[in-house]
Amino acid sequence: MTQYAAYSDESLLRPARRPTRRRTSATAWFLRAVLTTFLLAGGVMLVNVLINLSGNLDSHDGRSTDPAPIALFIGQQRLLIPANMFRFADQRNVGPHDRIDLAVHFPEMAGYTRAFRKDFLDLGADAPIVYLTIRTRDTPTDSVGRLINVYQHFFEEGTIPAPQGLVGHRMSEDSGLSGEEVFFEAGSTTPFTTHCTAPDDSQYPASCLTEIHAGSDLSVQIRFRKGMLANWDGIKSGVRVLLLSFGVTA
């Protein structure tokens, strides 16, 4: 009869014992739950901060998408202006300013949003953006005054093609503005008046500028691409409504 050798280690024949598990105390469970709660809350807060930062500031140029109004003073005039209309971050703060520079989307006359980003970066001749510079008035006359006192004395003979409702003239060589053009509203006692730059070799679109007085001591310069000139009436009325929303009449 065949005999089998006995195992030298009898422990291999015994069932293995499971290691004794230490019971977690109620205090440890409580501390673990509190820590987990804090970690989750911190993660949520961090995500919210990142979302707000990415939503309020454009990563490329620092423009704000925040429409919340900012209160500021230019001279003695108090203005309330949405943050997303400011072109420069250092002007987007409460307090006194010598001037502010704004950009708004036409025809909404609204500030910067992600939906309008392409238009705000558009360098084309008819980009639908209107630029405003508001500052303390330092000249006694606006564009209407310049039309009456200066421009009309240096028009070349005859008119040039102009959008409906406007009359256009090219400036003469002795005006110092040779080749530039002036357009004004026909039949008005306070005509919309704009001065447009002459085309050049820079390949940058010609632009038009008009200046109006607002409030008691403010000057507002309005700039837009010449390709937008056909919208002059909408720009004129839109700017006045916009200034009124800021708290100043024009």
The answer to whether 189 and 182 are in contact (CB under 8 A) is no
Say if residue 174's pLDDT is above 80: yes
Q: What is the mean pLDDT of the chain?
A: 83
B/e letters for 120-155, b = 16+ CB within 10 Å, e = fewer, are beeeeeebbbbbbbbbebeeeebbbebbeeebeebb
pLDDT digit string, tens, across residues 57-107: 454 566 899 999 999 999 999 999 999 999 999 999 998 999 999 999 999
Share of the chain above pLDDT 70, in %: 75
B/e letters for 159-176, b = 16+ CB within 10 Å, e = fewer, are eeebeebbebbbbeeebe
pLDDT digit string, tens, across residues 140-149: 999 999 999 9
- Give the confidence band of 199 by pLDDT, cuts at 50, 70, 90: confident
Look at 19 and 139; give whichever has higher pLDDT: 139
Question: 13-20: which pairs have CB atoms within 8 A and are 24 or more residues apart?
Answer: none
Check residue 17 and give its pLDDT: 52
pTM score of the predicted model: 0.76
Number of alpha carbons in the 13 Å side-chain half-sphere of residue 113: 11
Q: Which amino acid is at 219?
A: S
